[in-house]
Amino acid sequence: MKEKASRSIVKTISWRTIGTLDTVIISYFITGDLKMAASIGSIELFTKMILYYFHERAWNKIDYGKIKPPSNDYQI
């Protein structure tokens, strides 16, 4: 079963939200500077969102790990 590009976009945004919050929190603990942590988080937000989207679309084209439905799904 293939996924629509819109599904990949929504998954990308939701995952990046979680990932960016994680990055900002870790950056704050390391630097102690909220402004620096927010700067790091905002940069990685866009770069990783783009990378994830293309990663997701590439994996959508790979059959590895997918279970194909039977060709004849009509059973008596």
Q: How does pLDDT run across 14-69, given as a tens digit for each residue?
A: 888 999 999 999 999 999 999 999 999 999 988 988 998 898 889 888 888 877 77
CA 8 to chain centre: 8
Q: Which of 18, 24, 20 is nearest to 37 (CA)?
A: 24
**How many helices (H) and strands (E) are present in the chain, helices listed first?**
2, 0
Distance (Å, whole) CA 30 – CA 27: 5
pTM assigned to the model: 0.63
Largest CA distance in the chain: 67
Structural domain for 49, as ranges: 5-61
Number of structural domains the chain divides into = 1
63: CB partners within 8 A, 6+ apart: none
Q: Is residue 57 part of a domain?
A: yes
Q: Is residue 37 part of a domain?
A: yes
